[in-house]
Structure 1
Amino acid sequence: MFQLMIFTPLILTISSVVLVLSLALSKKSKMNREKSSPFECGFDANSNQRLPFSLRFFLVTIIFLIFDVEIVILFPAIQSIFTSQEFYWNFIFISFLIILLGGLFHEWKQGSLNWAI
């Protein structure tokens, strides 16, 4: 109870000082059309909305998501090295790598990894 009585005013004072300093020291910039317009996926929000979506942008996004999921799957697999049998772990890990390499070669063959326009 004693700590609550000491730290509550201290926390409120520090928060108030930080808030006042941030308001006082912030630079007020002029808002214009460019700054107030939303920015979504590299498209100009004020232009024609019927422009076709870039397939290259979509493929880059999908490849990024696939590699994120791969990393999420690999972290628990690395942790399980010490708790599982070596043969079982090696079989699962090699199977996972074969699937990943198959997907990588497929993307390469389809031209998804060619970044040049």
Structure 2
Amino acid sequence: MFGDFIPLYITIAIATGLALTLLKAAELVGPKRPNRIKQSPYESGMDPIGSARERYSVKFYLVAMIFIVFDVEVVFMYPWAVSFHDFIAGGAALGVMIVVTIFAAILAIGLVYDIKKGGLDFEQ
């Protein structure tokens, strides 16, 4: 079993070695002329306004969590969609469809709950 993956391990080792070698070469050969402008924070070509230590609203994190949940949902649904033809051929299409519908319904209920609680309303 291990022998089947030797080409993969060699490719990973070569890619890692090449990446590290090129990073080190760029660090050694590249110009080093630091100045105040190069070391200042960059905000889309504008001078930074305010402190970088400001706290984000909790709603920012809630939206990020919703994104992650639905991203994971897509990760779980993609293999199901790719294999659905095989489920039809095997006679398990109805059972699999019910399970996936329950999975999507639970997430949809969570999204509706979040909308009702105002989790996506940023005007407050």
1:56 matched to which residue of 2?
A: 59
Q: Note if 1:36 corresponds to 2:40.
A: yes
Return the index of the structure with the highest Cα Rg. 1
Distance 1:48 1:76, change over 3 A: closer
Distance 1:55 1:37, change over 3 A: same
1:65 is aligned, of 53, 68, 74, to 68
1:47 is aligned, of 24, 48, 51, to 51
Which whole-Å CA distance do the structure 2 matches of 1:52 and 1:31 have between them? 26
Q: What RMSD in Å do the two structures reach over aligned CA positions?
A: 3.5
Instruction: Give the 3-state SS of the residue equivalent to 2:119 in structure 1.
Output: coil
Which whole-Å CA distance do the structure 2 matches of 1:48 and 1:100 have between them? 35
2:98 is aligned, of 83, 88, 91, to 91
Pairwise CA distance, 1:38: 7.1
Which whole-Å CA distance do the structure 2 matches of 1:48 and 1:73 have between them? 37
Report sequence identity in percent: 28
Pairwise CA distance, 1:80: 2.0
Instruction: Give the 3-state SS of the residue equivalent to 2:86 in structure 1.
Output: coil
Which whole-Å CA distance do the structure 1 matches of 2:73 and 2:116 have between them? 20
Q: TM-score, normalised by structure 2?
A: 0.53
Question: Does 1 or 2 have the higher relative contact order (CA < 8 Å, sep 6+)?
Answer: 2
Contact in 1 for aligned 2:59/2:120 (Cα 8 Å): no
Distance 1:116 1:82, change over 3 A: same
1:104 is aligned, of 96, 99, 111, to 111
Distance 1:56 1:82, change over 3 A: same
Q: TM-score, normalised by structure 1?
A: 0.56
What is the number of residues matched between the two proteins?
Answer: 87
1:15 matched to which residue of 2?
A: none
Structure 2, unaligned stretches of length 5 or more? 1-29
